[in-house]
Structure 1
């Protein structure tokens, strides 16, 4: 006896042997049991899902003689033993006319077929016309079939099957009871193949069956045919290596290895895995497609673990791997992979495109590259300084004065030349460090900065130089400017008469700074901060959150002091630069930080980028002298990472505060001001001062009275660096 292929040998003979398609099985079984039979059925679906098999089973149900020869003999469970059932299984039942519409497309063939419709069945209960690939019929053939299809004789049933129902005329669709068969999921295919191979006595690997189930692409017949081929290829066995070699597909383990390297942020391992893949000559575009598919499943595993499918038999592996990625990483990697997939056609070679896509994933992680590039080639695994021998995924460089400004830009009074370094920051740093400019305004003025006075006092204005020529409060005066100011007579009115609205704005802001430094007891809005005496030299006097800029300017005691005070003899530029940032003493290092000290120390840390943004949203919760506990607002919890904590800890150590830093997420009371909140408050005060200065400017008032001009307050921006004008 000749060998019969598995696809034919294991073809279902009853509805209960049918694999999958439960929705079609249930409808047909109920219709047969209740006697509610339609005269035309249309089965649609992709190849190998059971369209023709369902039609033959239905033909057996209509003609089975196990329960008699009358109409009540129609059953949903054909016996398979009677003459009619055996004839249908063997393909020799005279009342079952199977027509291949792909080879009989002419209208003459259809008319010849319909000439015998009026005659009663010869052997069975019903005459069944099974037309396969019915969409191949011509338009004239459909027109010739319409009338008979709508009102056939009672002993005739039409069973139509097609893989492309869109090509059928709507007139045909409306005359049929349509059933759409679904594609077979890999789980169902693997389950069925396991049973078949166990009965056949063929040894197999479950991983090999998953490869076959994926390659079948939803078709059970294709899966059975591929299994036949795998048995022959493996000499009677179905093994994972043989199936992978036969199909020429990429082993899923290579994709998982690539993802493990991405999870470890190991660029060297990523390139090594791509090199091992290149030895097998794979389709690199297919590799990226598989990688995107796994990233999608990782995202599903992170959001809804129960919804993760086991389409490749690796559900547990993916659940473990998903815990090693953040949700942001997975989403970013998927987006970069899609972009890289579209760029493959323009790349010099597919392997280069794949490598660049994987390296781009590492370079643009939300937390940045763990180790800053110390050579022109990023992600090369170069060693970090000796004091930080952590692994590559956790190591962070210590913040030092030797770091280039593009990596860790200094701000405020924490480093000399900070205003000059800020304009050279990259565009990416300018976007991510949104608090860089505003926080820098809270730095205390150096001892060499001349005292500014209220612009409303003409006598005080005599002691000041044009504000447009003065440097910002955090920068020391040039030697020539310092000597000019020292030699300027007290009765000179030239500066006040020639001052513009820009001068008034700068003088007003200087007055706010002086009021904050002086801490005048007559001003009820400037509370004395509660801090230990040892931290007093490093802690500026912050203005209370409720204190407005106008209230600070209107303080009578401050005005009196400014009128009677003579400008101090300014030291030379070198001494001013040395005194602008007092070096932390041993007493300061041993003192415990409170919130006021944290606000004053923040600008001296020299933090930048995401690390600065993270620290700016923290408040001091506890300091026991050994460990500093910071509380982070819940809205900023996504930035909390070990790499930033280590940078903050190193910056504190450089400032003379040796602490172990721990950041916990928690609610921050509205009464407690963070460094970010302080910078925003100061920016608001600067804006208010600038608006008031504009409103008091005689030129603006003249424009308003003459032309009816209106000041748009939202467009007013205080100048950050007067020297840049």
Structure 2
């Protein structure tokens, strides 16, 4: 007996043997069981998904003479043993007329076919016309078919199949029940090939089946044909190396190796993998395409793990690899990969273009937001603060210095007092301080950093003069910080809150002064009262800003509550909406920031719903922003100038455009 190929040998003969297409199977089975039969069916879909197979199974159901129940009649479970079923399986059933529309496109062929429609079936219950590739018929052939297709004799059924339903006239589509068959996913192909090869007794590698399933591109017939070829190529076995060589495709393991080198930021291993690829003479443009496709899968794995494409059978590997990247790294790598693909046409050779693209990914990878310096600096005066007369004089004499919140700029020298009237203003407003013009004019100009350091070295515990203590800005953050300072340094808090009295507060003699009088008192608010103690949620809120976190790490930590702290392990309860953002790099950054604050801890995340009575740093920030916005809107509503505009011109305040003063700065 001659060899029969796998695609024909394992062709389904009943609906229950059909692989996939559950939606079509269900509709046809229910229609057959209930006797609700249409006179024309149209099956659409790509090649090798089962259009002709479904039509033949339906023809057997209509003409089976001994169904599974032992009686005669239409059934959804043909027996496969009666003369009609065996004749249809063998292709010799006279009442099943199969027409290849691709070779019989003329109107004369269609008219000849329809001349026999009026005659009753010879052997079966129905005369079935199976027209394959029906979209190839000419316009005249469709016109000749329309009337018979709409009202055929009761003993005639039309089964049409096509891969391009867009080419069919709407008049034909409206006369048929249309069933669209889906692509076969690689998972379904691998599952079916595993069963077939097991029944055939052929040894195989599962990874080789994934290569075949990917190469089949949704066609089960193509997968069976490629499996036949792989068995012959591998001398009776289906092995990964043989299938990769037969298909001439890129080994997916090389792409995984490149992605792992990117995750480890290992440039040497990255170039070594490219060199190993070059020995096989691959298409380097295809390598970059595959890498970009993998970066897309990694991004999906971080955001929606359940939606990861498993076309390569490496879902678990992708999920594990995704945890080694940050989201910003993947997005940047993908963008660089897409742009590098377009630049390949301008490169001297494709290998150097691939290497430069990979090196560019690592050269421009995010390094994190730099942390603000933790050195003690003089306090900065806010523009909205009021200045007392005594402070005005001191500012003219010593040039009050403003320092940025997060990054210190190059210190500028204090301006010297050049005119005598300015010195007289100083002596007249000092309220008892005996200062001569020559003493004020001879005061040297000293940079801010030197001035602050000299004051700390000379008198670290000395209370500053009243004019050096800055006024308070009425914001919740500053009030909370000053309350914390007041608990730990009550003397300083008392000094800062004491009102300026007109009495003498400082006396300057005529002796030369080696070091200038300090401008302000450097105050550094500690993050936690005792670094050796255990963190609770209140202390977590206090120390959060001082950790200096940025980017996605700050966003992740800002959505956490303190679950527990035993002094060595800090467990943070994470909002479930941020679960996909977990990564080892964020955990490492938080642990490093806590260690720099004198609180060495290991971090563990616990995903659960947040407690309603506790507040995360992100929630606190949102609340404070809302309060500041509400205060700004209230101030504008009560402003007399705004009220005049509203009364005179009917103006309306757009509250969404209002920004507090601290945001404007």
Bin of the TM-score, shorter chain as denominator length: 0.5 to 0.7
**Ranges in structure 1 where 5+ consecutive residues have no aligned partner:** 370-406, 415-439, 445-452, 495-509, 518-523, 545-551, 584-589, 653-657, 721-725
Higher RCO, 1 or 2 (CA under 8 Å, sep at least 6)? 1
Is 1:642 the counterpart of 2:588? The answer is yes
How far is the alpha carbon of 1:642 from its aligned partner? 2.7
Deviation per CA, 1:15-57: give whole Å up to 9, x if none: 2222222222222223223332211111111100111111122
Q: Is the 8 A contact 2:214 2:312 kept in 1?
A: yes
| CA distance in 1 between partners of 2:362 and 2:292 (Å) | 15
| Root mean square deviation, CA, Å | 5.8
Give 3-state SS (helix, strand or coil) of 1:560's partner. coil
Aligned to 1:155: 155
**1:226 counterpart residue number:** 226
Instruction: State whether residues 288 and 337 of structure 1, in contact with CA within 8 Å, keep that contact through their aligned partners in structure 2.
Output: yes
Name 1:4's counterpart in structure 2: 4
2:403 equivalent to 1:489:
no
Cα distance between partner residues in 2 of 1:91 and 1:323: 56
Structure 1 residue 257 and structure 2 residue 257: aligned? yes
1:202 corresponds to? 202
The 8 Å contact of residues 40 and 158 in structure 1, kept in 2 or not, is answered as yes
Change (3 A) 1:197 1:672: closer
Distance 1:598 1:487, change over 3 A: farther
Question: Counterparts in 2 of 1:383-422, with a 5 A limit?
Answer: 410=373, 413=376
CA distance in 2 between partners of 1:514 and 1:594 (Å): 34
In 1, Cα distance between equivalents of 2:658 and 2:307: 53
The equivalences for 1:179-578 within 5 A come to: 179-303=179-303, 305-306=305-306, 308=308, 310-327=310-327, 329-330=329-330, 333-334=333-334, 336-341=336-341, 344=344, 349-363=349-363, 365=365, 368=368, 410=373, 413=376, 441-442=379-380, 457=389, 465=396, 471-472=401-402, 478=413, 481=416, 488-490=423-425, 513-515=468-470, 529-530=485-486, 557-558=499-500, 560-561=502-503
Q: Structure 1 residues 489, 314: CA separation in 2 closer, same or farther (over 3 Å shift)?
A: same
Whether the 8 Å contact between 2:29 and 2:76 is mirrored in structure 1 is yes
Q: TM-score, normalised by structure 1?
A: 0.63
Q: Is 1:478–1:573's contact at 8 Å kept on the other side of the alignment?
A: no
Q: Does the CA contact (< 8 Å) of 1:476 and 1:577 recur in 2?
A: no
How far did residue 348 of structure 1 move? Answer: 5.2
SS at match of 1:131: strand
Stretches of structure 2 that go unaligned for 5 or more consecutive residues are 430-464, 473-478, 525-529, 652-656
Structure 2 partner of 1:126? 126
Match of 2:174 in 1: 174
Q: Is the 8 A contact 1:640 1:663 kept in 2?
A: no
Residue 713 (structure 1) shift: 10
User: Under a length normalisation based on structure 2, what TM-score does the superposition of the two structures give?
Assistant: 0.67
Distance in 1 (CA, whole Å) between partners of 2:616 and 2:143 is: 83
Q: CA deviation at 1:158?
A: 0.8
Return the alpha-carbon distance in structure 2 between the equivalents of residues 127 and 335 of structure 1.
59
Question: For the Cα contact (< 8 Å) 1:134–1:160, is it kept in 2?
Answer: yes
Q: Residues 74-131 of structure 1, C-alpha deviation per residue, up to 9 Å, x if partnerless?
A: 3333333333333322323332221111122222222222122222223333222111
User: What is the Cα deviation at residue 194 of structure 1?
Assistant: 1.9
**How many correspondences in the alignment?**
574
Does the 8 A contact of 2:125 with 2:155 survive in 1?
Answer: yes
Correspondence for 1:164:
164
Contact 1:454 1:559 in 2 (8 A): no
Quick one: structure 1 residues 45 and 572, their matched pair in 2 at CA, closer, same or farther if it must change by over 3 Å?
A: farther
Distance, in Å, in 2 between the alignment partners of 1:345 and 1:463 is: 67
1:121-142 CA-partner distances (Å, limit 9, x unpaired): 2333322211111111122211
The alignment partner of 2:469 has SS state of: helix
Checking the alignment, whether the CA contact within 8 Å between 2:417 and 2:423 is kept in structure 1 is no
